[in-house]
């Protein structure tokens, strides 16, 4: 919704300023300029990216028009899941969660946290490293290094769609100039026309430059910036899970481990200590009531 509102503000501001300065809107309606600029940009996007990057970029653009799933509710769910897992390990041993992490989709433990089950990236990250921890073949520093490497790889993957969109934004002004130059060439080829008609043709040609710059800085580049922000959120939640798992390997109590994770969350999504404590207690009470009813 905010993207649409932003676009409306961009277009309204540009057109209103143009009209108030005495401009005519009809002059700006140049479908062929859109064809030249848009078609060239799409072609360059296809040429400069592999098929998998194109697919990833299109999927990322679709997600931008939906509300971000990386909110306080998701973080609370993650922290509560980690607390439940670590508590179970502390009480019953590491092997008590082996069945849960081998098949989380069928696990009664994980079924209590559908938001985590719906996010395969977070789910795989947690279960993969829990398996490594349970195996006992790697020490805490080796696992921490491996986690860092995986997160860094994930960051590089996320940068590809951002780079692809940024490249389109960077190229649009140039394609606008191409459209303008082509319009000028067309005008010069008809130099025998009256001055009034030549002026109109030149005005049409200049629309290309206007459209290229407006589309670049008013539409495409802001999408790249927004996607970069969304990517930071998706990385931060993995870092939160990482810190909790590493703290558990250092033999901290589950309550302390999740406090490590809470401190990693961005301030606008980070729950307070008492808010987290209340949430965990509510989930405990809910699960207790469900077990009693069963």
Please give the share of the chain, as a percent, with pLDDT higher than 70: 96
Answer yes or no: is 16 within a domain: no
Instruction: Give CA torsion, residues 203, 207, 209, 213, to 10 deg.
Output: 140
- 294 has pLDDT over 60: no
Residue 119 confidence (pLDDT): 92
* Helices and strands (DSSP H and E) totals, the chain: 14, 0
Answer yes or no: is 5 within a domain: no
- Mean of the pLDDT values across residues 186-211? 80
Confidence of residue 154 (pLDDT cuts 50, 70, 90): very high
Total domains present in the chain: 1
Residue 288 confidence (pLDDT): 65
Answer yes or no: is 128 within a domain: yes
Instruction: Give CA torsion, residues 29, 34, 36, 38, to 10 deg.
Output: 170
Residue 291 confidence (pLDDT): 58
Task: Give the H or E element holding residue 248.
Answer: helix 221-249
Residue 188 confidence (pLDDT): 77
Are the C-beta atoms of residues 217 and 42 closer than 8 Å to each other? no
How confident is the prediction for the chain on average, in pLDDT? 88
Answer yes or no: is 46 within a domain: yes
Residue range 109-137, pLDDT digits in tens: 999 899 999 999 999 999 999 999 888 77
CA distance 45 to 52: 13
- 290 has pLDDT over 60: no
Residue 285 confidence (pLDDT): 72
CA distance 269 to 266: 6
CA distance 190 to 178: 19
Confidence of residue 214 (pLDDT cuts 50, 70, 90): very high
Identify the domain containing residue 76 by its residue range: 30-294
Answer yes or no: is 12 within a domain: no
Residue 117 confidence (pLDDT): 93
- Mean of the pLDDT values across residues 71-75? 90
Answer yes or no: is 13 within a domain: no
Query: What pTM, to 2 d.p., does this model score?
Result: 0.83
Answer yes or no: is 4 within a domain: no
């Amino acid at each position: 919704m905010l993207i649409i509102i932003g676009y409306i503000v961009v277009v309204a501001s540009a057109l209103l300023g143009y009209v108030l300065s005495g401009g005519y809107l009809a002059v700006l309606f140049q479908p062929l300029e859109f064809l030249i600029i848009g078609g060239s940009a799409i072609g360059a996007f296809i040429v400069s990216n592999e098929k998998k990057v194109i697919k990833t970029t299109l999927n990322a653009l679709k997600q931008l028009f939906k509300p971000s799933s990386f909110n306080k509710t998701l973080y609370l769910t993650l922290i509560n899941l980690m607390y439940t897992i670590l508590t179970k390990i502390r009480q019953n041993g590491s092997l008590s969660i082996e069945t849960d992490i081998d098949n989380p989709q069928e696990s009664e433990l994980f079924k209590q946290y559908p938001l985590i089950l719906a996010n395969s990236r977070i789910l795989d990250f947690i279960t993969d490293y829990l398996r490594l921890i349970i195996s006992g073949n790697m020490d805490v520093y080796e696992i921490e290094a491996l986690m860092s490497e995986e997160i860094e790889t994930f960051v590089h993957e996320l940068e590809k769609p951002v780079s692809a969109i940024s490249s389109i934004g960077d190229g649009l002004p140039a394609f606008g100039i191409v459209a303008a130059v082509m319009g000028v060439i067309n005008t010069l080829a008809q130099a025998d026309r009256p001055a009034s008609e030549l002026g109109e043709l030149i005005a049409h040609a200049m629309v290309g430059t206007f459209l290229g710059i407006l589309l670049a800085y008013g539409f495409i580049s802001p999408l790249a910036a927004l996607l970069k922000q969304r990517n930071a959120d998706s990385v931060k939640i993995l870092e939160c899970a990482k810190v909790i798992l590493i703290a558990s390997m250092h033999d901290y109590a589950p309550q302390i481990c999740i406090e490590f994770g809470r401190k990693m969350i961005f301030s606008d999504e980070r729950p307070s200590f008492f808010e987290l404590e209340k949430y965990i207690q509510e989930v405990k009470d809910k699960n207790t009531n469900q077990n009693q009813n069963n």
